[in-house]
Chains A and B, each alone.
Chain A
Amino acid sequence: MSTETDTLRRTALFDRHAGAGAKLVPFAGWEMPVQYEGVRQEHLAVRQGAGVFDVSHMGEIETTGPDAEAFLQHLLSNDVSRLAEGGAQYSVLCREDGGVIDDLFTYRLRPGEDGAPRFLTVTNASNHETDYAWFSDHADGFDVTVADVADRYAMLAVQGPEAREIVARHARGDLPGRMRTATVGVAGSQALACGTGYTGEDGVELLMPPSAAPAIWDALVEEGVVPAGLAARDTLRTEVCFHLYGNDLTLDHNPIEAGLGWAVKLHTGFIGSDALQSADTGRKLVCFGFTGPGIPRQGNGIFTDAGEGVVTSGTMSPSLGYGIGMGYVPEEAAEPGTQVKVDVRGRARAAEVRAKPLYSKS
């Protein structure tokens, strides 16, 4: 087992995690903190105060050049022409058949010194190399430079109702609004701040040189921001029904059935848009809550009056106190309020299809 961990990559904050007593696990080739004090506490800290996640394992691809917009419009499902400078946009990367290669955030940065457009796309760690190869392989005919810049950035997600205020205390320059980006000084270093996140809470994500990450981390933790691990990140995103690639999004699912039609602009002609014009799989991704005991897990069967489905994400919700999940079901059974059963290791557990998000501040 030790030889396995020897090959894992470590973020610039590894020493901070180890020092804080984090449980470190292999994740997408990285040695990442899955939890510190405990999932529940970290989860509730983000819901009620502020938490910080080291998400430096995520990758970045920079696309620059006169054709950068046209190139990204060709690859990404959303309408990149509507992404203004300083803006952030969510999209998926599709194969020709509409299967999802990855889901991504793209930021339009200030143009380079030559005046050419410049974009930064954040990838999932497990897909970064595939995404970069896909970008590179499709660059022919476009006047663009595609660069793998993952090594240039560490990334922190500071999330929670108090997150913005605490980061602002250490920032020189205004923090960006939701779905906006800005370059700001944080704890003595330049960072790209983005008004995005994966928890359903307000907050910012900060991209900075890896060497600057420890000082920023320390400044936040000294202010009482709670270090939070991947386990809490997963329970938080499941409560607000955000997709996790590999669970709720895969090559075998298209973005329409995944409920991502809002980020899919077929008129832009992106790769996969032809297939998606006529894609009707008859199934739909729904979120659900258990109405009795049990915890759903990925792979559990879902039984509905309209046929079978499968759980793609499942957990115990720390905020709600019962089992919740997401899964694909026949579209006739996708209406909120539909009663279904989930087969949890041989026991049929009662569940109800719910409207998204499962959790919201009342």
Chain B
Amino acid sequence: MAESYPEDLKYHAEHDWARIEGEEAVFGITWYAQDALGEVVFYDPPEVGAAVTKDQPYTEVESVKAVSDVFAPLSGEVIEVNEALSDAPEAVNSDPYGDGWLVKVKLSEPSEVESLLDVDAYKKLLES
């Protein structure tokens, strides 16, 4: 897919996105991140119930040649993982904001959302 950054998402400087749904949020990596990584061939999801902490790595995605930590944009508890990626990890490349989502989290500190970047701020970061 072509480079894109949806306006309804919040972004983290480590090239992660969060889609806020009330007290919950879905996390994934941005178009920029998947492009830099190359073809994703393996995703090892965290366990449901695991705690994630804002700015800390919570999982890894692997391309043929490299492993990349994925950082949590917000803190909370994993309530759902994208099981479909174990069979089709390439969805992280082909649809990073849709089928390529990584985890769904119940937020423990919803106020952290305010610290995330909006799309314009994230794009500015990419240009710098």
Contacts and interface: CB of A to CB of B under 8 A. Distances in A.
Interface of A: 23, 34-35, 38-40, 231, 234-235, 293-295, 297, 315-316, 318, 323, 345, 347
B64 A293 contact: no
B64 A40 contact: yes
A347 B62 CA distance: 15
B39 A295 contact: no
19 contacts: A34-B65, A38-B38, A39-B39, A40-B41, A40-B64, A231-B64, A235-B64, A293-B86, A294-B42, A294-B44, A295-B41, A295-B62, A295-B67, A315-B64, A315-B65, A316-B41, A316-B42, A316-B64, A323-B42
- Pairs A-B, 8 closest by C-beta atoms: A316-B41, A39-B64, A295-B62, A38-B39, A295-B42, A231-B65, A316-B64, A40-B39
Query: Interface size class for chain B?
Result: 10 to 19
B60 interface: yes
Nearest to A347: B44
B37 to A, nearest CB: 12
B38 A39 contact: yes
A120 B64 CA distance: 34
Contacts of A323: 42
B contact face: mostly helix, strand, loop, or mixed: strand
A297 to B, nearest CB: 7
Interface string B47-73: 000000000000010101101000000
A71 B121 CA distance: 66
Contacts of B64: 39-40, 231, 235, 315-316, 318
A69 to B, nearest CB: 41
Contacts of B39: 38-40
B65 to A, nearest CB: 6
Given A316-B62, A345-B60, A297 B67 contact: yes
B67 A293 contact: no
Contacts of B44: 293-294, 347
